Amino acid sequence: MAIFIDQISKRYGEHIVVNRVSLEVGEGELVVLLGSSGSGKSTILRMVAGLIIPDEGRIVLHGKDITALPPQKRGLGFVFQNYSIFPHMTIAENIEFGLKIRKISSPERQKRSHRLLDMVGLSGLGSRYARELSGGQQQRVALARALAYEPNILLLDEPFGAVDTKTRIQLRQSLKTITRNVGVTTIMVTHDQEEAFELADRVAIVNRGRIEQYGLPSDIYYNPATAFTAGFVGDINTFEGRIKSCGKERCEIELFEHWLVYRRGPHSFQPGQKVFYGIRPEQIRVSLLEPEKHENGIFGIIEKSTFLGDITRYAIRLNNNRLLDVQLLNYLFLDGMVMPYELNEPVWLIWSQASGMIVPSDEACEQHPSVFCA
């Protein structure tokens, strides 16, 4: 285990920004802290860096307790959101800064800075200044600078925040390749879910100073541990309901108007327990035929369709006047239409009983009102 964060907390006056957070990161792993603004994710990162001192808890790096060490002595690399390239030094001098502090000789420094410039795709631009480069290029410099002295860990604080979308995607892909090649243990902070899922080996969902869930992107997406995570990652249709029964093979849940849905697999819910049942828009298919016995389904009327290029989103009006979000891949384009169904046509919405999420109802509304109390 490369990094062990042990119950760290940070308080500013009455406001608890980080609340007893624990996390472990494996050697060479890329972990992403995903959360919205104010969730405390940047504070956690800065405590690992030593830029903020935790009020309690400790940080262990390769078995050594570094909680009391200043940032200079932690041997880490940090990439800031605003790049922070020193404006009065050339790019090469910026990259060599960490090496100069470590008293590496000038020819060796130059060799390394050339190699790093090549690695981040900025060969030959060493004598330029920050103001002559684009945002994306500056971010590459920041990365090269942080990796120059071969740090133990690489920390990135919303590194692609200030860049346009296309550049973001390019930088993302470069980052993954570079960190893989260098083999450095990395922790990154972002609010962008797609970015987190593309880059991370594991994702930690951060909410109000706590880690809601920590695991593989697919685990978080399909098996959210909390109501917050279910609503935060991706889109989801939610229904209030009550557990009718939970056996070894599957659970039976009663939703509005005695509509029953099933969820395969063993669960530990009690009969009569109030829950939220969720199904994601891309997990639903549209059909004129009734659902089979092994499927879940509901009847509805197509009220709206939005063409988004690769997908089409549908808003389906259900019997209880609710709208269901459905997302279909635009697989076929025939006779000037993407789908053979028309507006106001009654259809069946069907999904597998292996899909769907059950989340206990008590905290759901409080944790994520926009999704669960709409």
Partner 1 sequence: MKQIRTIQHKISSWLPAGFLLLVMLPLILLPLASVFIYAFKGGLGNLVLSLTTDDVLFAIRFSLIIAFATALVNAALGTYAAYVLSKTRFPGRTQLGIILNLPVAIPNVVVGTSLLLLWGPIGLFGQALEPMGLQPMFTPVGVLLAHIFVTFPYMLGTIKPVLDDLETTYEEAAYTMGANRLQTFFHVVLPALKSGLLTGSLLTFAHSLGEFGATIMVSGNLRLRTQTAPLYIFSQFEAGNIQAANSVAALLSLISFVLFSIIIYFAARNSRK
Interface residue list for partner 1 (CB under 8 A): 49-51, 70-78, 80, 82, 84, 86-89, 97-98, 101-102, 145-146, 149, 155
CB of 231 to partner 1, least distance (A): 33
CB of 86 to partner 1, least distance (A): 6
CB of 157 to partner 1, least distance (A): 9
Smaller CB separation from partner 1, 51 or 311: 51
Smaller CB separation from partner 1, 71 or 215: 71
CB of 151 to partner 1, least distance (A): 9
CB of 89 to partner 1, least distance (A): 8
Smaller CB separation from partner 1, 113 or 283: 113
Smaller CB separation from partner 1, 97 or 269: 97
Burial class (CB within 10 angstroms; exposed 0-12, middle 13-18, buried 19+) of 102: exposed
Smaller CB separation from partner 1, 33 or 243: 33
Smaller CB separation from partner 1, 81 or 229: 81
CB of 95 to partner 1, least distance (A): 10
Q: Residue by residue, what is the 3-state secondary structure of the chain?
A: CCEEEEEEEEEECCEEEEEEEEEEECCCCEEEEECCCCCCHHHHHHHHHCCCCCCEEEEEECCEECCCCCHHHCCEEEECCCCCCCCCCEHHHHHHHHHHHCCCCHHHHHHHHHHHHHHCCCCCCCCCEHHHCCHHHHHHHHHHHHHCCCCCEEEEECCCCCCCHHHHHHHHHHHHHHHHHHCCEEEEEECCHHHHHHHCCEEEEEECCEEEEEECHHHHHHCCCCHHHHHHCCCCEEEEEEEEEECCCEEEEECHHHCEEEEECCCCCCCCCEEEEEECHHHCEEECCCCCCCEEEEEEEEEEEEECCCEEEEEEEECCCCEEEEEEECCCCECCECCCCCCCCEEEEEEECCCCEEEECCCHHHHCHHHHCC
Smaller CB separation from partner 1, 70 or 369: 70
Smaller CB separation from partner 1, 101 or 260: 101
Q: Which residues contact residue 85 at a Cβ distance below 8 angstroms, ignoring those fewer than 6 apart?
A: 91, 94, 130, 138, 141, 142, 145
CB of 87 to partner 1, least distance (A): 7
CB of 305 to partner 1, least distance (A): 46
Q: Which residues contact residue 29 at a Cβ distance below 8 angstroms, ignoring those fewer than 6 apart?
A: 2, 185, 186, 201, 202
Smaller CB separation from partner 1, 102 or 111: 102
CB of 122 to partner 1, least distance (A): 18
